[in-house]
């Protein structure tokens, strides 16, 4: 294999961190969405997170989804959800371990909801790259107002 073909196979930093977020999402215990997040600074992983029940509580995989049981539409009444979102878990892990997130980039499999958006802003994260859109137009306005750049990841074709 030539050196040039090896370079063609090497992932860009964005591709690498998006793939890691996608792998992290496979640990999610939510029945509706598998979401993964990776917080990165200077091309180094600080923390990861996926959506799931708080530590020590039963997972939705085991007891069912309360939002589904109550016919709550996706994207509404987040407070009824048993899970902590992936972005929240990544930020919490940084706090628990004393890792500073100021100026970091967050890679996520899904566009953050408004609750996560507020946490991302307060955590000092300055750039968000997501794969899948999410129907929450308010979050985009908050990011813009706070000076946080956000972009949808576009894979190479």
Residues designated catalytic: 87
As given in the structure block, the two tokens for residue 82 are 């048993």
CB 135 within 8 A of CB 156: no
Contact predicate 90/80, CB 8 Å = no
- Helix 137-146 and helix 114-122, axial crossing angle in degrees, nearest 10: 10
> What stretch of H or E contains 37?
strand 36-41
* CA atoms of 26 and 20, how far apart (whole Å): 10
Q: For 26-136, where are the alpha helices, taking DSSP H only?
A: 60-63, 66-69, 86-96, 114-122
- Report DSSP state, residue 52: B
């Amino acid at each position: 294999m030539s050196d040039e073909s090896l370079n063609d196979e090497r992932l860009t930093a964005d591709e690498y961190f998006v793939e890691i977020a996608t792998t992290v999402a496979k640990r999610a215990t939510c029945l509706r969405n598998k979401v993964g997040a990776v917080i990165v600074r200077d091309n180094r992983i600080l923390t990861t997170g996926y959506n799931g029940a708080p530590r020590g509580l039963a997972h939705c995989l085991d007891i069912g989804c309360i939002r589904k049981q109550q016919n709550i539409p996706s994207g509404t009444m987040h407070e009824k959800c048993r899970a902590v979102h992936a972005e929240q878990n990544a930020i919490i892990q940084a706090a628990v371990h004393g890792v500073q997130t100021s100026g970091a980039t967050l890679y996520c499999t899904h566009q953050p909801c408004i609750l996560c958006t507020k946490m991302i802003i307060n955590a000092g994260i300055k750039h968000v790259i997501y794969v899948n859109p999410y129907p929450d137009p308010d979050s985009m306005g908050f990011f813009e107002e706070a000076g946080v750049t956000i972009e949808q990841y576009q894979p190479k074709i």
